[in-house]
Amino acid sequence: MFSGGVVVIYGFESKICFLKYGDDAWTGLDQHGRKHKPYSDIICHDDMLLALSEGCTIEMWDVGASCQRKVKEIQASFPGNPSRASEYLGGLWTNRFYLVESLGDLLLVERYVGEFVRHDGVPVYEPDLLTGEDNHPLVCPYRTLRFQVYRLNSGERRWEEVKDLGDRVLFLGGNQSVSLPAREFSGNSIYFTDDYRSRMDEDYLYGGHDLGVFSLESGVIKPFYPCDSGRIEPPPILDCSKSVLRIGILHRITIFILNFLY
C-alpha cells in the first residue's frame, strides 16, 4: 500500500496494477508495449513503487503522479560464492526473494525452501519419496530451511551480504515485508509466513504450514505458533499498518495474533 492507494501483483504473468483512492478502476504499469519480466515482490517507499523483477532487477516507479513513469532501473551484482551455488541444486530447493526497507537501507532477502523435506530437516528428491515397501509415498512437505540477507550498495551497484540485523526484526509474507525494532520480538531475526501459493493446495495434508522465526546468528528456525497440524487453512496473513503489526492465523476457529505497537 502507498499513501495514494494500493498496489498488487496479479495473474500468471505476475503483472502489477494499482488503484488510487477515488479511482473506480485498476491501472496497470505502462510498459509501452514491451513485454515485462515477471515481478516477484513490491514495496512502497517515499511514495515510490519499488518492483523486484526477474534477475533481481529493481524498477523504481512513480505512480503517484498524474502520469506514471519509470524513474530508474537498478541491476546490482551479487557476491561470488561458487560453493553456495552448488549447495542448492535444482529439484531439492527453490528460492524466493523479498524487498525490505530498513532504516533507510534497501534489503534483499533470499529465502531457501526445500521442495520435499523430511521430519529431520533434510531435503530429498521427489523420487526418493517412494519406498520399496509399499506404493504410498512418504509425506515430506515443502519447508523453509534458511535465509540470506543482502544490503544494496547503490553507489557500486552491488549487493553486500548482511550477517547481523542488530536490534531489528524482519517480517516476510504474502503482503509487504517490513523491518521493525525488536522490542517484544527476538532481534536479528526473520519472522515469516507461508506464501508458496503454487504448492499450497496440492495436498490435503499440508499447506499454509511453512511459518516460523529464523535467527541470523544461529541459522536455526523455530516455530512461533503452536500448531500440531500440517495444514493451516486459510493460510497465515501478515497485516501491516502504521499502528500495529499482526500475524493472524485462522485455524480451527482459533485466531492467534501477535500485536506489536510502535
How do residues 97-122 score in pLDDT, each as one tens digit?
Answer: 999 999 989 999 999 999 888 888 88
Least confident of 5-9, 96-100, 166-170, 227-231: 227-231
State the burial class of residue 12 (Cβ atoms within 10 Å of its Cβ: 0-12, 13-18, 19+): exposed
CATH topology of domain 1-75: Thrombin, subunit H (2.40.10)
Task: Write the pLDDT tens digit of every residue in 141-186.
Answer: 889 999 999 999 988 899 999 999 999 999 998 777 889 998 878 8
For residue 191, the model assigns a pLDDT of: 92
Q: Answer whether 148's CB lies under 8 Å from 79's CB.
A: no
- Identify the band that residue 244 occupies on the pLDDT scale cut at 50, 70 and 90: very low
Does residue 257 have a pLDDT over 60?
no
Name the burial class of residue 195, with classes exposed (0-12), middle (13-18) and buried (19+) by CB atoms within 10 angstroms of its CB: buried
**Domain ranges for the chain:** 1-75, 76-228
* Mean pLDDT computed over every residue of the chain: 79
Residue 67 has pLDDT above 80, yes or no: no
Q: What is the pTM of this model?
A: 0.83
Q: Which triple of cell numbers denotes residue 119?
A: 521430519
At 253, the pLDDT band (50, 70, 90 cuts) reads very low
Average pLDDT of the residues in 11-16: 85
What is the strand order of the sheet 15-20 is part of? 5-10, 15-20, 27-28
Q: Which of 195-199, 212-216, 243-247 has the highest mean pLDDT?
A: 212-216
Instruction: Give per-residue pLDDT as tens, 73-90.
Output: 999 887 765 445 445 556
Three-state secondary structure call for residue 54? helix
Q: What gap in Å lies between CA 7 and CA 16, rounded to an integer?
A: 7
C-alpha cell at 219: 541459522
> Which residue has better confidence, 79 or 96?
96
Which residues have CB under 8 Å from 3's CB, separation 6+?
44, 47, 64
- Angstrom distance (rounded) from CA 172 to CA 153: 22
Q: Look at 31-40, 108-117, 209-218 and tell me which has the smallest mean pLDDT.
A: 31-40
**Helix/strand/coil for 34:** coil
pLDDT band at 189 (very low <50, low <70, confident <90, very high): very high
Percent of the chain with pLDDT over 90: 26
| Nearest one of 225, 220, 224 to 188, comparing CA atoms | 220
